Amino acid sequence: MSTTPSYAAHSSQSPLAHHLISRRSVGAKDVQIAIEYCGVCHTDIHHSRNDWGRANYPMVPGHEIVGKVTALGANAGHLKIGQQVAVGCFVNACRTCSSCQADMEQYCLNGFTATYNSPTKDPGGFTYGGYSKNIVVDQHFVLKIPDGLDPAGAAPLLCAGITTYSPLMHWGVKPGMTVGVIGLGGLGHMGVKLSHAMGAKTVMITSSANKAADAKRLGADAVLISSDAAAMQAMANQFDFLLNTIPVAHDFNQYMPLLKVDGTMCIVGAIGPTGELNSGPLIFGRRSVAGSLVGGIKETQDMLDFCGKHNITSDIELIKIIEINQAYERMIKSDVKYRFVIDMSSLS
């Protein structure tokens, strides 16, 4: 067992603050990682403020982790000391159920162990995430960062990247298709970059008119302002696929008419119940509403390799750990371009 500094929430109302945690000893299958960078996901805010009613305190958020290997168990020999590696949203799963066998650990029928706030046999009883100096993770859940990718910019790929890559792949996004990405935040800006790299006509659908120029720079072919009723009407029946990243409850029905016949809107925002779904736009157009959760380990490695090949990283604002509470407030105001990443050398 070893002790490591972290930043933790101690209640739903208290700001995150310095806190010492214990990590388990490095077992045969384990990898110990010195964390260099950790991205800040909106999920970290939902969890630390107990938006979903299942917070366990003290909570150390963070599931966009990049660092270097510092110790290896006997059965983790495919990795090397000093290698640049990463950890995403979960650190264990049963590995025997049909989902795990199909490389979809995120849908483990016995429940995966999230990188933070999940019950564990580790010290503390709940997993502690990446707002910390080091972490010990089973080798199966450790990803490799392709050479040449900036490690700080790569950190958000571990959640924002895979959460957008997985549905784009699942719904077969390719040249000739028109894709709308709703919400230009951490997930949304990765969605735009990835959809563009997959060759689809990509439209940014935003509530913030002032983000239009940025959206085009990130790879959007066009920008649609969601509050502009006439523009929304003009784009009716144009989209094969919509990726909805809005992090608050809202009216889905506003977006459904944008879909073509047989089009799908995939929800990735973890927003809980969100009003009534009007059957009209679904049945007049055989449209679908779906959801998607991050991606499996194999798919996450595929995504990292795709990003390596296309030189895709996140547009980040690098912050010190003491700026984390201010970063949360700015994210709530949709004021981040487009992912905060914590430089972990600022934590001691």
**Residue 8: both structure tokens together:** 């933790």
From 97-105, 196-204, 205-213, 225-233, give the range in contact with Zn ion by CB under 5 A: 97-105
Selection from 43, 14, 33, 320 nearest residue 156 by Cα: 43
Q: Is 117 in the site for ligand NAP (CB under 6 A)?
A: no
Looking at the DSSP bridge assignments, the partners of residue 86 are 66, 143
- Closest CB to ligand NAP among residues 159, 307: 159
Q: Is residue 47 near ligand NAP by the rule CB under 6 A?
A: no
Is 246 near ligand NAP (CB under 6 A)? Answer: yes
Among 289, 293, 318, 322, binds ligand NAP (CB under 6 A): 293
What is the amino acid identity at position 347?
L
271: closest CA among 51, 19, 97, 60? 51
SS3 6: strand
- Answer whether 103's CB lies under 8 Å from 115's CB: no
Beta carbon nearer to ligand NAP, 121 or 333: 333
x/- mask, ligand NAP, residues 71-110, rule CB under 6 A, reads: ----------------------------------------
Q: Is 45 in the site for Zn ion (CB under 5 A)?
A: no
Regarding 94 and contact with Zn ion (CB under 5 A), the answer is yes
Among 6, 310, 333, residue whose Cα is nearest residue 154: 310
Q: Which stretch binds ligand NAP (CB under 6 A): 35-43, 52-60, 108-116, 195-203?
A: 35-43
- Pick left, alpha or beta for residue 208 (phi over 0 → left; psi -120 to 50 → alpha; otherwise beta): beta
Please tell me whether residue 207 binds ligand NAP under the rule CB under 6 A. yes
Cβ pair 37, 104 in contact under 8 A: no
- By beta-carbon distance, which residue lies closest to ligand NAP? 185
Q: Is 86 in contact with 146 (CB distance < 8 Å)?
A: no
- Kindly state whether residue 271 participates in binding Zn ion, applying the rule CB under 5 A: no
The residue to which tokens 């502690």 are assigned: 128
Binding-site ranges for ligand NAP (CB under 6 A): 41-43, 46, 159, 163, 183-188, 206-208, 211, 245-248, 250, 268-271, 292-294, 331, 334, 336
